[in-house]
Amino acid sequence: MVGPATASEGSIRVLLVDDDEEDAFLTRDVLNEIPGKPFIMDWQSEYVTALESICAGNHDVYLIDYRLGSRTGLELIREADKRVCHAPMILLTGQGQREIVFEAMQAGAADYLEKGNLNPTTLERAIRYSLQNKASELELERRVQERTVELAEANHLLQSEITVRKQAEEALRQADRRKDEFLATLAHELRNPLAPIRNAIEIMRLGKAVPQAVDRGREIMERQVAHMVRLIDDLLDISRITRGKIELRLAAVELNSIIDGAIEGSKPLVAIGKHHLVVDVPDEPIVIEADFTRLTQVLINLINNAAKYSDPEKTIRLIAAADEREVVFRVIDEGVGIDAEALPQVFEMFSQSERLKDRSQGGLGIGLSLVNVLVELHGGNVTAASEGVGKGSEFTVRLPRTKTGG
C-alpha cells in the first residue's frame, strides 16, 4: 500500500470502515464536497482487515460505522484501544442510536456523527476537532515525558548530592574520630617516658656515690628523652606537612649511605623485638638525587613499622634495586599483615587498622603518612601490599634517579 499523505503535506488520509458499499460511496461524496478537497479516503468493509489497518497507523483519522455485520464499531474501537492502536476514531451511528454515544466515548471514540445528518460541514468539523484533540494529547504527552525526564535527572542529581554530602559528613566524622584517637595516643605516648625518667631520677638520688646507679639512671633518661624527641620531631613534621612547609634539600647521594643511615636509625626498635634485618643492595655504587635526611627517614619509618607489627625474632627484609630510570626500595616483613579493607587507608593521616593497634610497640601512627608525603615530594610513589591478616606486608617505594618535580 502506498504510504498515506499527511496533514503537513496538505491532505488528510481517512479510512472509512463500513460494510455497506452504498453508504461508503455516500460518505466519500460528502468528503469530496468539503471545500479544497484536502481529504483522501480509503475504505475497508471487513472487521479484521480494518483492525489491522488501524493498528498499522497509515491514516490520520478513522470513520467507523456502528454496524459491521455480526460485529460493531464499538467492538472495533475497544479492540484497537486494547492493542494500544491509538488514533482519532469517529463513530458513525444511525438515527435514534444516541443511547450508544456515551458508550462510544467510554470505548475511546474521539467523536460521533449521525449518518442521516452527515454533511460536509459537520464531517469536516468532527475530523478537524478529532485531529486537534489528538495533536493536543500528543503535545501534552511530549511535555509530560520531557518533564518526567527533567524530574528524573533532577532527582538523580539530588540523590548524587545527598550521597556526596553523606560521604563528606562521614569523612568528617571519621577524621574527627581519628583526631580524637590521635590526641589520646599522643597524650599516652608523651606520658609513658615520664615514669622511667622519674624512676631514673630516684635511682640517681639514692645512689649518689654509686657510679653504676648513676650511669644506669642516665642511660634510662637518655633513652626516654630520645624517644620523646622522636615523637616531637614527628609532630613538627606533621605541622610542616599541614602548612606545606616541608622542603627538600636535594643533592647527589650514594644509595649505600642512605641504607646505612636507615639501618642505624632503626636499630633500637629492631633490637627490642630481636628481629633479623636482612639487607640486599646492588654491588655497584648507585647515586640518586635526593634529600639524604628525608629519604633515610622514609626507610627508617618503614623498617620501624615492620618491627612494630611483627612478633619477636621475625625477619625483616630491606631490598634495594636500580635501573637507569628509577630506584626501588622494598621492605618486607613476616608480621600481622593488613586486611584488604584497611589497605587503602594505610597512608592516611592518623589512620591505623583497629585490629593492629594492640600489636603496636608505641608511636603516633603517623609514620606511614610521613613516608607517603616525603616520597611524593621526591617525585616517587609508595604502595602497600598484603595477602591478609597474619601473612605479612610489603611496602614498595619507587623514586626517579633524578628529581623532576617541584
Q: Which is higher by pLDDT, 403 or 336?
A: 336
Give the separation between CA 268 and CA 383, rounded to whole angstroms.
25
Proportion of the chain above pLDDT 90, given as a percent: 29
Give the pLDDT score at 363.
56
Do residues 266 and 370 share a domain? yes
Give the separation between CA 402 and CA 405, rounded to whole angstroms.
9
Mean pLDDT of 32-41: 84
What CATH number is associated with residue 384? Answer: 3.30.565.10
Do residues 236 and 257 share a domain? no
Cα distances (Å, whole numbers) of residue 181 to 19, 79, 233, 312, 402: 89, 72, 19, 27, 39
Q: Which is higher by pLDDT, 127 or 230?
A: 127
Do residues 194 and 272 share a domain? no
Of the ranges 9-18, 152-161, 222-231, the best mean pLDDT one: 152-161
Rg (CA), the chain: 44
Per residue in 245-254, pLDDT (tens digit) is: 778 889 999 9
Give the separation between CA 334 and CA 390, rounded to whole angstroms.
8
Least confident span in 19-28, 36-45, 234-243, 275-284: 234-243
Question: Is 79 contained in some domain?
Answer: yes
Mean pLDDT of 108-128: 86
What CATH number is associated with residue 105? Answer: 3.40.50.2300
User: pTM for this one?
Assistant: 0.52
Do residues 54 and 185 share a domain? no
Beta bridge pairs of residue 88: none
Range of the domain at 323: 251-400
What CATH number is associated with residue 198? Answer: 1.10.287.130
Give the count of domains, the chain: 3
Do residues 87 and 202 share a domain? no
Give the pLDDT score at 292.
93
Give the separation between CA 246 and CA 298, rounded to whole angstroms.
14
Do residues 236 and 255 share a domain? no
Cα distances (Å, whole numbers) of residue 69 to 24, 50, 113, 314, 350: 14, 13, 19, 98, 87
Please identify, among 177, 208, 242, the residue that sits at the C-terminal boundary of a domain. Answer: 242
Do residues 201 and 270 share a domain? no
Which amino acid type is present at position 357? K
Query: What is the CA 109 to chain-centroid distance, rounded?
Result: 50
Give the pLDDT score at 389.
86
Do residues 396 and 258 share a domain? yes
Per residue in 164-212, pLDDT (tens digit) is: 999 989 888 877 877 776 676 677 667 777 878 888 888 777 766 678 8
Which amino acid type is present at position 229? V
Do residues 329 and 355 share a domain? yes
The string over 328-361, giving b where at least 16 C-beta atoms fall within 10 Å of a residue's C-beta and e elsewhere, is: ebbbbbbbbbbeeebbebbbebbbbbeebeeeee
Beta bridge pairs of residue 254: 287
